[in-house]
Chains A and B, each alone.
Chain A
């Protein structure tokens, strides 16, 4: 595996968002569960999403107990695990897909710990540019947060509607790449509305950080993409893409194209 240099991995996200800002465009960030619908189809799916206009892709490392995820991502995780997916095999998929857009690993903490001390370097070498850890909020484990934040990958942190202003500033200063704003209380899963409090949460977060902000949780259709894209720097679409991928790669690609058009038209 060819190794990218230690600094370029995390820089890729910054450059991507800077380029989007220059063009006045918003980022489309689809999520897939590695190994779903199958390991081979994951690679096809990643390429199809890039083709459809994704700016960044999030690749989920499946976990046995995904407490922040709703039924669609739970089911995709269980299916991927049943097909033998692991942290290491997730990296293999990313490597094999050879995408031209930045890749952010999306994981629960335990599989990352189990992958061992060299995990971040191996991920960078496989073609990952960032990492997001669902169950590692800012400040809870300084040692592991330092490890994740000082390696070759951008360390993407999450902000929730319940996060107070002071904590938003702390999160902004401890993350890199972009900030992932959870649009609503609850677990992942497709919805068709835009939460009332989202504009005010986004406003609070804007004042707390200069990092790009991508909004996720519950985004599934073009109307939401347009409305949220008008406020944020990008949108993350998880369950809707995963569900579509379960129906067929072209279905997921069509959804990504629709979202792309909605963002660009917005």
Chain B
């Protein structure tokens, strides 16, 4: 395994123009990580601005329903309402160190775009966010938030008009403006060093969760569960437990309208290895190597690729990857809302739905930690307009 890969996965499959920028980023990242002042500033911002540590909340009623002790890692309580800001704060600090004052980002559900626009406002950086036209419609409120925060939101009308195409368009911007711009990728995808860097910035979730579950439950969990689109909240929480061989790591992908329908986003569950957006990983593609459009009711999971470290965890058996449908996720959202008074993001609801469907997998004294990657407020308009009120 080289520094750019996870097993065979990862790499730097990018236009030549970007190679020096990736090297510059690697060097800057290594220097930053070795610099106590960087870590101190990051920790300070995470505490004072983001609101960390986030709590680990017990979920007694949902736990009783599934027959386990359930703990919710509350990334929904971060500033901006999702885990995405852990990464954007880290990368924005890096960009400033590199002297890059213009930030590019892609966004699907809008959470990463909002988190990027937020930190750019805080640091006085110019911010351009690419967002699929279809996602702008689904997540109009987040578009408004980005505008409020002073970011420019560029609608992407090519391809499927979702996260995949927004990412492609963001890369095109970066190739054009590479000398003065930093691209803040929102997930553990893209060319090296992005997957490792984003996982590092998100690993605060797992570090906190591990210490909290030991303190509050007195034991390590049997299972850690997270939803997986690109896979950054999952990589972040898994990172805290990956060395604990007895802890099973379960990533829940979006099965959309069902794996058989062809309309889903379950790259690990039903894709095969291929190259997209700079890295080799599991990918939804046809026999000719053309990328297959993904589908999920949740814009944040609507991506045909997945982080290369997840591909490695899947192949090595360290991680288990499953998928649940749109309908199951909606039911999961309703379940956590009614039983615990916590409205999770539709993305998170996939993890909840899998746990509910796995009732009987645990004994009542076993602990299960699930990452509540974001809050569901961004999704309620979409659900209510569709006349959906989960039973």
Contacts and interface: CB of A to CB of B under 8 A. Distances in A.
A100 B123 CA distance: 59
B274 A67 contact: no
Interface in A66-108: 66-68, 70, 74, 78, 81, 86-88, 108
Given A67-B277, A113-B274, A115-B289, A159 B16 contact: yes
Contact of A162 (B4, B21, B285, B288): B21
B162 to A, nearest CB: 12
Interface residues of B, number: 36
A61 B291 CA distance: 14
A182 interface: yes
Interface in B143-169: 158-159, 164-165, 168
Residue from the set A74, A159, A171 with the largest chain B CB neighbour count within 10 Å = A74
A140 B4 contact: yes
A185 B288 contact: no
B53 interface: no
A115 B20 CA distance: 30
A64 B159 contact: yes
Interface residues of A, number: 42
B331 to A, nearest CB: 33
B97 interface: no
Contacts of A158: 15-16
Residue from the set A135, A137, A161, A171 with the largest chain B CB neighbour count within 10 Å = A135
Interface in B259-298: 274-278, 283, 285, 287-291
Given A78-B159, A185-B178, A109 B16 contact: no
Contact of B12 (A88, A110, A140, A161): A140
A109 B280 CA distance: 10
A244 interface: no
Contact of B158 (A74, A134, A136, A161): A74
A113 B21 CA distance: 26
A113 B16 CA distance: 19
Closest 4 CB pairs of A and B: A114-B289, A186-B176, A160-B17, A111-B289
Given A65-B165, A137-B12, A162-B178, 6 more contacts: A110-B285, A115-B288, A140-B13, A158-B15, A164-B20, A185-B179
27 contacts: A63-B290, A64-B291, A65-B291, A67-B15, A67-B168, A68-B172, A78-B158, A78-B159, A88-B288, A110-B285, A110-B290, A110-B291, A111-B290, A113-B274, A115-B289, A134-B15, A135-B15, A135-B278, A137-B14, A137-B16, A141-B13, A160-B17, A161-B17, A163-B16, A163-B20, A171-B16, A185-B177
